[in-house]
Amino acid sequence: MRILILSAYNAVSHNCLNNGIVKYLSNIEFTVLSLPPRFFPWRAMGNSLSFAFNYREELTKGYDLIFATSLTDITSLKGLVPELAKTPVVVYFHENQFDYPDSRSKHVNTEVMIISIINAFAADKVIFNTKFNMQSFMAGAKKFLKKMPDFSPHKDLSGIEKKASVLSVPIEPVAYKNKSGAKPVLLWNHRWEYDKGPDRFLNMLRELKKRDIDFDLNIVGQVFRDIPESFQIIEKEFEPSILNWGFAESRDRYEDIISESSFIISTSVHDFQGLSVMEAADAGCTPILPNRVAYPEIFSNEFLYDTSDDLMVEASNCADLIVKLADKRGTSDMSQYYWGNLKEKYEELFLSFND
Please report the DSSP string for 286-305 in residue order: EEEEESSTTHHHHS-GGGEE
Residue range 281-293: mean pLDDT, rounded: 96
Q: Is the pLDDT assigned to residue 104 strictly greater than 80?
A: no
Mean pLDDT of the chain: 93
**Per-residue buried b or exposed e for 236-258, using 16+ beta carbons within 10 Å of the residue's own CB:** eebeebeebeeebeeeeebbbbb
Q: Residue 171 gets which letter from DSSP? A: B
What pLDDT sits at residue 108? Answer: 57
Edge-to-edge strands of the sheet including 2-7? 29-34, 2-7, 65-69, 89-93, 125-128, 164-166
List Cα–Cα distances, 199 to 39, 137, 176, 227, in angstroms: 25, 26, 30, 12
> For 1-26, what is each residue's pLDDT tens digit?
999 999 999 998 999 999 999 999 99
- Give the pLDDT confidence score for residue 180 in this predicted structure: 63
Could you tell me the domains of the chain? 2-170+339-351 (3.40.50.2000), 185-335 (3.40.50.2000)
**What pLDDT shows up at residue 103?**
47
Helix (H, G, I), strand (E, B) or coil at 321: helix
pLDDT at 225: 81
**Could you report the per-residue pLDDT of 241-269, keeping only the tens digit for each?**
999 999 998 999 999 999 999 999 999 99
- Per-residue pLDDT tens digits for 173-227: 987 777 667 789 999 999 999 999 999 999 999 999 999 999 999 999 988 888 9
Rg of the chain in Å (alpha carbons):
21
Residue 106 burial (CB < 10 Å; 0-12/13-18/19+)?
Answer: exposed
Give the DSSP letter string of 7-51. ESS--HHHHHHHHHHHHH-TTSEEEEEE--S-SHHHHHHHHHHHH
- Strands 29-34, 2-7: pairing kind: parallel
- Express each pLDDT in 67-95 by its tens digit: 999 999 999 999 999 999 999 999 999 99
